[in-house]
Amino acid sequence: MVGQAAAASPVIVVGHAALDRVYRIDAFPAKPTKVSAREHREEGGGSAANAAAAIAQLGGAVALWSRVGDDETGLKVRRALEHGGVDVGFVRAYHGATTPTAAVIVDGKGERLVVSEDDRIMPMDVDWLPVDRIPFAGAVLSDLSWLEGTLALFSEARRAGVPTVLDVDLAGGGLFERFAPLTDYAIFSAPAFEKFLPGADVDARLSAVLAYGVRHAGVTRGARGYVWRTPDGTGQQPTFPVPVVDTTGAGDAFHGAFALCVASGLDDATCARVASAAAALKCRRLGARLGLPTANELDVFLFEQTGQGLPAALLDGDGLMPASGQGLAG
């Protein structure tokens, strides 16, 4: 059952790229004070960038379309992604802009406190994005951090019949209605889902999301697993038990793996199973990327947990980008 990730139609991810500084402590103090870190990492971050890194680690072809500053931090962000196999040809470095950063404090239970800093004057223009390459993609994923970019990519994807996956987190929850007409797979975080329809139960919320015309409405609920609804019915994927070191980026890993499965033409239940396993394995290590599984690791893990490994569509290929003339970065 062990193999390399197969070559699927590439995924384009649009949105946030940052640099994380992650500190692991024993426990959050009851009041402000000094605490000693047990471990520290500096690595790439940002929801969209993490999702792209997850796809690349699984052997999938992926390009990130994003914005950073032309500073040393931005250079670190792009180098880390490129080293991890992500196409960064359209991660633009803007002169005078500051690359986003985040301080992530993780306690002994794997829960975290995130303090982020974003450049509020980052240019929003999209005329440089090669949207004519969207038809060659297998899926487009957005974290809703760059609205203009998302609108440009999702609009072209809808015209080209390319499936779109929307990561609806707390910061972007209020924007779902605007992008729903262009969305195929709407995947909410638990906090964003609760704000979407206050006071309603899970079934009512899923039905309300589906009523906007998406083909798949889902919510990631951490240890309680993933629940989704389509016009054909409701599904549920339990979480996979692993020793949790850090939950940072688990949702990003889920979205990346899910989008790769969509690009590979897999059914919703398989997408949820693979994505849930990828998110669980990420939690084994500190930071958003160190624990991201390879296709081999994910295949073995799934086989051990369920008796069924990765689907053939994700195995036994080379994971390379399309041939010249169909690539996503020129």
Q: What are phi and psi of 152, to 5 degrees?
A: -65, -45
Residue 18, domain member (yes or no): yes
Q: Tell me the pLDDT band of 53, cut-offs 50, 70 and 90.
A: very high
Structural domains counted in the chain = 1
Residue 329, domain member (yes or no): no
Residue whose pair of structure tokens reads 């969209």 in the numeric block: 48
Share of the chain above pLDDT 90, in %: 76
Average pLDDT over residues 163-190: 90
* 174 has pLDDT over 90: no
Residue 243, domain member (yes or no): yes
Distances (CA, A) of 301 to 76, 141, 243, 277, 308: 31, 25, 13, 8, 9
Task: Please give the residue range of the domain that contains residue 238.
Answer: 11-29+36-309
Burial call 177-205: b when 16+ CB within 10 Å, e when fewer: eebbebbbbbbbbbebbbebeeeeebeeb
- Rounded mean pLDDT of the chain? 90
Query: CB count, 10 Å around CB of 210?
Result: 18
Query: CB count, 10 Å around CB of 329?
Result: 16
Rounded CA separation 260/60 (Å): 7
Q: Tell me the pLDDT band of 328, cut-offs 50, 70 and 90.
A: low
Q: Are 206 and 187 in contact (CB under 8 A)?
A: no
* 319 has pLDDT over 60: no
Average pLDDT over residues 32-40: 90
Residue 319, domain member (yes or no): no
What local confidence, expressed as pLDDT, does residue 3 receive?
37
What local confidence, expressed as pLDDT, does residue 65 receive?
98
Strands 112-117 and 62-69: unpaired
pLDDT tens digits for range 65-103:
999 999 999 999 999 999 999 999 999 999 999 999 999
**CATH number of the domain encompassing residue 221:** 3.40.1190.20
Residue 63: half-sphere exposure toward Cβ, Cα within 13 Å: 27
Q: Tell me the pLDDT band of 316, cut-offs 50, 70 and 90.
A: low
What local confidence, expressed as pLDDT, does residue 8 receive?
58
Q: Are 82 and 54 in contact (CB under 8 A)?
A: no
Task: Kindly compute the dihedral angle of the four CA atoms of residues 13, 233, 223, 187, in this order, to the nearest 10 degrees.
Answer: 20
What local confidence, expressed as pLDDT, does residue 327 receive?
44
Average pLDDT over residues 36-46: 91
Rounded CA separation 139/160 (Å): 11
Does the pTM surpass 0.85? The reply is yes
Residue 61, domain member (yes or no): yes
Residue 133, domain member (yes or no): yes
Residue 324, domain member (yes or no): no
What local confidence, expressed as pLDDT, does residue 173 receive?
58
Residue 317, domain member (yes or no): no
Query: CB count, 10 Å around CB of 254?
Result: 28
pLDDT tens digits for range 233-284:
999 999 999 999 989 999 999 999 999 999 999 999 999 999 999 999 999 9
Which residues in the chain belong to E strands, given as ranges?
Answer: 11-15, 18-24, 39-45, 62-69, 87-94, 101-106, 112-117, 139-142, 164-168, 185-189, 216-220, 226-230, 233-237
Share of the chain above pLDDT 70, in %: 92
What local confidence, expressed as pLDDT, does residue 118 receive?
81
Average pLDDT over residues 193-204: 90
**Largest distance between two CA atoms of the chain:** 58
Q: Are 14 and 218 in contact (CB under 8 A)?
A: no
What local confidence, expressed as pLDDT, does residue 158 receive?
97
What local confidence, expressed as pLDDT, does residue 117 receive?
86
Q: Which of 10-24, 64-78, 155-169, 192-206 has the lowest mean pLDDT?
A: 192-206
pLDDT tens digits for range 109-150:
888 888 888 877 788 899 999 999 999 999 999 999 999 999
* 226 has pLDDT over 90: yes
